[in-house]
Structure 1
């Protein structure tokens, strides 16, 4: 029986290096293929009926079901089949098949990057450059970037979003759609994966139609345990580990032909312990001392801290979708409620400054105890016609309300020592409570109108008016040191045009604006902040403007598809965030003690981005399929002022040395402003400008059973990484994954063997500019009632590397 959802009607500068050209060559080859002579095309057409064609992909990028090839937008779709074939267990894993997208998992603040700019949760909070959606409702990145289980499709939408969907986001959106309950058939699956690194993953789903064509319930769940980042500490009996489980209950109810309801409840409980990987500090600076506890390089995958960073998460989500056809109009409601609880123990002494038999045992657990509680909900109501009006007009109009309340409590620990003449031992560990309270509300109204001028030409225009209010305050030891109460309003716009040059070639052009509210960054708990510190903490709203043109083509009777897009985007007040461990600055505590701390300050800067994407799919023969996706995005800060280590010397440029400054160094260099500032024109992103994914699959039979072998190559270009850090540049590299599997002819079962990072490539992806250090206080005579700040430095620095080679087996049984 057709449902309202099923009846939806779609509105009809940097030089390229040699390695770049090599990586791009498959895309260039595919792109050149449509230029065959007419005779060759006719010959291929005559043979086309004998060959398998590429299946049509349906997406909902414009809030209606339509072919991906008809959407005037750069979209990448990851189907349930692709999720299974690539053994994608976490959302972060989709980056292996979607070039130009970077997802960085974190137990508090996951990050995303697309089209030359980065969404940093600590810099942007709940207002990302890349918005996430679960079943059409906005979802915060922490809940989205978790286990990927029972997912029907993931869509990556590039470019500004917001006049059709959810909230304004300048770089794009990622939509996750869960598998809906089947109203007719009982069934489900069991899926298990074991890997060579000690990982175990189990997923299952059960579909239960209680009343045929009317009511069905689906239960899905997962369990996973592994060794997290597999970094072991030489000083701890703890081991890195991830232990996660979760489930989702979905209910689908269609009492009449004009009404449908879909409900989900989801709970995720992932816990983990990780150690921060280090290398000897003199690996990047030979002038520094040898590692005090041994010489470690990236290949050792070692840590030196006494305990690991531990996190417990409790993530809950409710979602409701309603669709009601009233005469010629469809009324949709999409609502959600989210509740997140996170407890994390961060380690301050990851470089193990305090080690050896004379070190006080209390110092082994030195760090920050943090608890966050985030609750929020969204409501969206929209109207659209069930069919085109006069066979020409379509519209979507609606309202959105969202409210979020993220609360954070933490205890910052600072060791206090006796002076050297009194033995220099630990006197106490001072604990400073910090509380942050925040609340935000967004109210917006939006509309998008599409005019189908002819069968070949279509125009669309959209707008969203946003009213946003935010209140926040930060208190240290009960005293409020920062607060904000702001209201903003802004309107964003979109224009789109597409034209079919012929039935197999479509050209389009888009223009869009976007907006994000100003931010107040958290982490600087000094009670005596300078004007510059406040400038690098509270930022004005961001505005952006984007232009995009593209082509989408289908040829060789459906066996070849090539899509290409080029874009240019500018940002005003883009929230840049200092990378790595942050920028050194002078902090003053409640007792007036000044010490050097590190913090990831932010800055509002102008950014300019340009780039392009090319995607090709080619069904070479019935058995052989190949695809390529290439992404290039060059984002640059255009003469912006950023926080930086500009102390030795103070010359307006980020320091080239990797030693920690003193309080006197910073005071002298900044004239009492507590933190350095540099005017720069540097990369706006830490990821490579260009990336590529290349896949080839060959199908055959083994003893009458369908089988295949498949290869996946990820290519990454050179990256400056953090452009203010002179020692963390990353050269171009590539990773190779291989898969082979066999299935039951009737689809009952499937077995797959895989190998990730087959060549065991080891690449250092990040490296802190300075060796790890700990800020301490030293009591001063004569009464020992006052103290002075001091920095104690380790002989190790933090790094991160590519994952180790992994072999595994996956088995799936469908029932």
Structure 2
């Protein structure tokens, strides 16, 4: 299905069906106990009641229905029942989030672009910071590269929507994703092994083992995976593929309970991927709406292409539209086909409980090495290709003090945080290789360059938040964070044609931010929560690292801020058979860091201000032990309120006040249901289906029509049989059931006369078997 003629009506219809279906349901509530150690997803058939859904959105463990924040949470089992194998797929089940696994211009499968409520970052470069924070076992992942994690041995995934600047700090201006992996159990020996076979020769093996070493005191948990799948895009000339999977990972955790009050967790993980480039597809060449290619493309075809001995499919010796294939999953690309990742880290967590409080220390070191290539012209010509080799290491230390006082009427969190990182990007931009000024552009860009970018960053912060019950059932909440950042950035550019260094510049700057939070909530009874809040978030500033003319392009841009006002209600209704959570928000967005990727126009500038209004509705019905249903609807009305200008002489903004926000569909909607039947002495059979609807999505800030996704529908289904004893489980599943064709990302370059896109994965099937002990 290519698009949606009336995405708004479809979303409204879906919401209406969900409401009329779920609201009248009155039946016996499900009473089977859930695992209280993890967050349980709305719609999870294993959940007993909303009482068992636990989250850590306020740095302490609480019932989801007691937390005055818009949160969607999933257990590892809930993700598996939805056939989620990488974290970018959680967006299909969460309102107002857009999570793409292959950033435009990168060629990397692990380079995330994440937007929540219209706020995020559409670039993977080391000088660009994400707008949504990722935390794995309380450790912040600073780079978008490597953020598309495989779903292996997960306890829970929580999506916090809206700015989280007080408790989680910088670069959580859009929200935060909290990932908790499986924790060691000091009492029971347990484990799981699972194998999957499916489309594109998919063969996955993953599992874990938990080993108590000293009963109730010491335990070791080891998990690992091997993920393998052929690519779904075929390269017609060299016979290769793009979009494959070939990744191995291992994680180990040691838990030591020194005393009942003192626990030490030590862990380490390593991921190694050796894959092909992310999928890319040429869709336009020259003089198409939104692109021109004059004079770059015309001069290249006149002076360079005819000398290379390359013949296009139409018989010409130029780069022309005959390289556009009729199949969305084929390409004439011939550039190096590479997407390598080595990601590892170690961490230590110490918890000490005393009285009615706990102090927690999280110390972590992480190391990243990634290499990826992109053939942006998708032809045998070397007209628009990039090569990136990135390295990054980071060290972080966080201290938290949490507790209760004043007869448990006061809950508080106090903390301090330190972060240090160094990163490098050694890149090559093969742009119109062979074409020299003055035949290129005006001003005289140097298209083919060797690029060296280095960044050296540190930050520290102090934060605190407290909630006080001023009268029974009425709480006020106040918090604040002070954050100090400092960056040193070096950019060195060398012309390929004569190996002359024409840019060598170092910039340094510091920023500070104060991010308060104020809220009030009223809980008339255990089943109803009403809340209102104000929160501020920020994304730190930086420097432009893609100069093609001179050092004046290496401009500094300032932090962006978001002030968000939110009201909401969380309710358990109809004797706990229906849960309804509704949040509405108004956000004021200032100093927006607009990312323009229209080579040679590649820059970031604080070029706009805006406002974002919207709401999110999530419903879960549990009328019986054998049936659950869920639905959600997200709505966003995002508008620019002012437009500025670029920071440098060549930075021209492709937007107006009428432009739409990038990666911000007006509507997102989901609906799902799971039915199950237990056979007497013959096990259990479960069937789950999910549908996700997106309205129009603009893939670039310029709203280029060629690379705009008009909207689409995705459907998944999974059938699971659990043998008696619950040890063995067999499943069959289909993702993208209707084989919908949709854009995951795209890029258009008016100067080069090209437009390219990456399509999402087609329909796939699989079967899996697991054994748990």
The normalised TM-score by structure 2 is 0.84
CA distance in 2, matches of 1:49, 1:770: 55
Q: Deviations for 1:257-301, whole angstroms, at most 9, x for unmatched residues?
A: 110111210000112113522236499669999974757456441
How far has the Cα of 1:335 moved from its partner? Answer: 1.7
How far has the Cα of 1:430 moved from its partner? Answer: 10
CA distance in 2, matches of 1:673, 1:413: 20
CA distance in 1, matches of 2:137, 2:664: 29
Maintained 8 Å contact 1:574/1:606: yes
After TM superposition, the structure 1 = structure 2 runs for residues 83-482 of structure 1, keeping only pairs within 5 Å, are 83-106=79-102, 107=108, 109-122=111-124, 125=127, 127-140=129-142, 141-165=144-168, 167=170, 169-228=172-231, 230-240=232-242, 241-274=244-277, 275-279=279-283, 281=285, 292=314, 294=322, 296=324, 299-347=327-375, 349-352=377-380, 354=381, 363=382, 367-385=385-403, 387-413=404-430, 417=434, 432-477=449-494, 480-482=503-505
Match of 2:694 in 1: 716
Match of 1:728 in 2: 707
Q: Deviations for 1:501-555, whole angstroms, at most 9, x for unmatched residues?
A: 34322100110112222121222232264xxx56xx4211212211000000001
Return the match for 1:564 from 578, 582, 607: 582
Could you tell me which runs of 5 or more consecutive residues in structure 1 were left unpaired when the two chains were aligned: 1-14, 35-43, 355-362, 420-428, 585-596, 645-669, 774-792
Does the alignment pair 1:621 with 2:624?
yes
Return the match for 1:706 from 668, 681, 684: 684
Maintained 8 Å contact 2:22/2:578: no
CA distance in 1, matches of 2:707, 2:430: 29
Does the alignment pair 1:753 with 2:732?
yes
Return the match for 2:613 from 600, 610, 619: 610
How far has the Cα of 1:466 moved from its partner? Answer: 1.1
CA 1:121 to 1:721, structure 2 compared with 1: closer, same or farther past 3 Å? closer
Match of 1:80 in 2: 76
Maintained 8 Å contact 1:53/1:558: no
How far has the Cα of 1:255 moved from its partner? Answer: 1.4
Match of 1:649 in 2: none
Structure 1 range deviating more: 803-812 or 481-490:
481-490
Match of 1:7 in 2: none
Match of 1:806 in 2: 764
Match of 1:683 in 2: 660
CA 1:346 to 1:729, structure 2 compared with 1: closer, same or farther past 3 Å? closer
CA distance in 1, matches of 2:493, 2:409: 60
Maintained 8 Å contact 2:639/2:657: no
Maintained 8 Å contact 2:165/2:536: no
Q: What secondary structure is seen at the aligned counterpart in 2 of 1:164? A: coil
CA distance in 2, matches of 1:287, 1:435: 29
Q: Deviations for 1:592-634, whole angstroms, at most 9, x for unmatched residues?
A: xxxxx35355443212111100000001333221001211122
CA 1:122 to 1:805, structure 2 compared with 1: closer, same or farther past 3 Å? closer
How far has the Cα of 1:238 moved from its partner? Answer: 2.4
Maintained 8 Å contact 1:436/1:475: yes
CA distance in 1, matches of 2:482, 2:113: 27
Maintained 8 Å contact 1:642/1:679: no
How far has the Cα of 1:327 moved from its partner? Answer: 4.1
CA distance in 2, matches of 1:474, 1:740: 53
Q: Deviations for 1:347-374, whole angstroms, at most 9, x for unmatched residues?
A: 354244x3xxxxxxxx59x844322110
CA distance in 2, matches of 1:233, 1:50: 53
Q: Deviations for 1:217-259, whole angstroms, at most 9, x for unmatched residues?
A: 011000011124x111222132333211010011111010110
CA 1:50 to 1:348, structure 2 compared with 1: closer, same or farther past 3 Å? closer
CA 1:215 to 1:431, structure 2 compared with 1: closer, same or farther past 3 Å? same
CA distance in 2, matches of 1:112, 1:84: 22
Match of 1:654 in 2: none
CA distance in 2, matches of 1:418, 1:437: 28
The size of the alignment, in residue pairs, is 703
How far has the Cα of 1:59 moved from its partner? Answer: 0.9
Match of 2:17 in 1: 26
Maintained 8 Å contact 2:480/2:517: yes
Q: What secondary structure is seen at the aligned counterpart in 2 of 1:256? A: coil
Q: Deviations for 1:321-346, whole angstroms, at most 9, x for unmatched residues?
A: 11112344321101211100112233
Maintained 8 Å contact 1:641/1:679: no
CA distance in 2, matches of 1:57, 1:803: 32
CA distance in 1, matches of 2:461, 2:628: 45
Q: What secondary structure is seen at the aligned counterpart in 2 of 1:17? A: helix
CA distance in 2, matches of 1:246, 1:48: 40
CA distance in 2, matches of 1:441, 1:307: 37
The normalised TM-score by structure 1 is 0.80
Maintained 8 Å contact 1:399/1:444: yes
Structure 1 range deviating more: 696-705 or 177-186:
696-705
Larger RCO (CA within 8 A; separation ≥ 6): 2
Match of 1:666 in 2: none
Which of structures 1 and 2 has the bigger CA Rg?
A: 1
Q: What secondary structure is seen at the aligned counterpart in 2 of 1:81? A: helix
CA distance in 2, matches of 1:475, 1:453: 58
CA 1:159 to 1:766, structure 2 compared with 1: closer, same or farther past 3 Å? closer
Q: What secondary structure is seen at the aligned counterpart in 2 of 1:553? A: strand
Maintained 8 Å contact 2:350/2:362: yes
CA distance in 2, matches of 1:739, 1:139: 32
Match of 2:532 in 1: 509
